Amino acid sequence: MLIERLGRWFLVRAERVPWTPLVGTARTLLALGTLGTLLATPERYLLSPIVGSVTPPACIGPARAALWCVVPQTHRSLALWVAVVVLAWAASGWLPRWSAVLHWWVSWSFISNLTVQDGGDQITAVLTLLLVPLLLTDRRRWHWQVAHEDIHTASPTRWVLAYAALGLIALQVAGLYLQAAISKLGVAEWADGSAMFYWFNNSIFGAPPYLKPLTNLLTSSPVLVVTLTWGSLAIEFALGIAIVLGRPAKRVLLLLGLVFHDTIALTMGLISFDLAMAGALLLYLVPTEDVRSLLHGLSLPRWRRRPSAQPAASPPTHLVRANPGRVLVHATKEAE
């Protein structure tokens, strides 16, 4: 009985096809974040010495299977171009089931072997791993295509594996945002509402010169500083609990989250992190949505939309019964 109930619960929630263009868009964003870092960063910085003057890659333990350790030391540039080709392939969306494992391997190699990395690169490595079961069951030629399948006709194993992957991703991203919000409460500057003042004026991650007039104006007001600081915590907490919210709320939080991370990228320069989190939000909040319905749902609220034209009033029933042909012609002229 319990298994039957779980089956019915799953069928209700898993009626949508899991292999969607939005999943493909998320993959492209994840790949572009890593690809951009590799192409924009000189190799001497990618492999700059770390703590203890150790020159990467540190081929110790599992990291020995990573790309920069597999390629001979005399041909390290080859590893870079192998990574670029794999990431470009993943970003293009061609044959996603064949690029899935390679995409994860390159993303994991990046955080295992290279020096220049941030939280976005670690998130990408985790998400590309969790995507493997979903992508290995993806039969599309391009991940931009809509998969014309049905839960009642498709292989149950493929469907369950795909949705299990999406479920694990949802748990991972929800935990990420909750941890980010709750852990900040233990920091005095976040608790008292002054953290954004220090971040905007940070010598490394602070706002660029062309935004300084705006950030100086914002940080000159204690009320605005507190609003920005606690508002960031509220957004992260809301995204953390979005896993239990309905579809309309998730759509609103998707837009809010994208703007939130775009603002961080604009003010702090964390572009690869922005791309990684944009991909994470798509996989977390709207992976099985139809693109058109999603855009429609993100448009103006219904109470602000212009009302559509009212249909012509229906003629009395006794007239229709008496002379249906004449009434039809009359109603058509009124509608014109």
pLDDT tops 50 at residue 44:
yes
117-122 long-range contacts (CB < 8 A, ≥24 apart) are 117/37, 118/270, 118/272, 118/273, 119/273, 119/276, 120/33, 120/270, 120/272, 120/273, 120/274, 120/275, 120/276, 120/277, 121/33, 121/34, 121/37, 121/272, 121/276
pLDDT at 335: 44
pLDDT at 300: 47
pLDDT at 38: 95
Full-model pTM: 0.85
Mean pLDDT to the nearest integer, 88-117: 96
DSSP string, 14-58: T-S-S--HHHHHHHHHHHHHHHHHHHHS-HHHHT--BGGGBPSP-
Mean pLDDT to the nearest integer, 325-329: 44
pLDDT at 7: 60
Helices (H), 185-290: 188-191, 195-200, 212-219, 222-241, 247-268, 271-285
pLDDT tops 70 at residue 162:
yes
Compute φ and ψ for 133, nearest 5 degrees.
-60, -40
pLDDT tops 60 at residue 185:
yes
pLDDT band at 90 (very low <50, low <70, confident <90, very high): very high
Mean pLDDT to the nearest integer, 191-219: 92
More confident position, 91 or 155: 91
Pairwise CA distance, residues 286 & 296, whole Å: 13
pLDDT band at 153 (very low <50, low <70, confident <90, very high): confident
More confident position, 82 or 74: 82
Percentage of the chain modeled with pLDDT above 70: 83
Per-residue CA distances from 213 to 45, 172, 218 (Å)? 32, 38, 9
Quote the DSSP letter at residue 312: P
pLDDT tops 70 at residue 303:
no
44-53, 74-83, 221-230, 310-319: least confident range? 310-319
pLDDT band at 332 (very low <50, low <70, confident <90, very high): very low
Quote the DSSP letter at residue 118: -
pLDDT band at 267 (very low <50, low <70, confident <90, very high): very high
Average pLDDT for the chain: 86
* Cβ neighbours, 10 Å, residue 324: 10
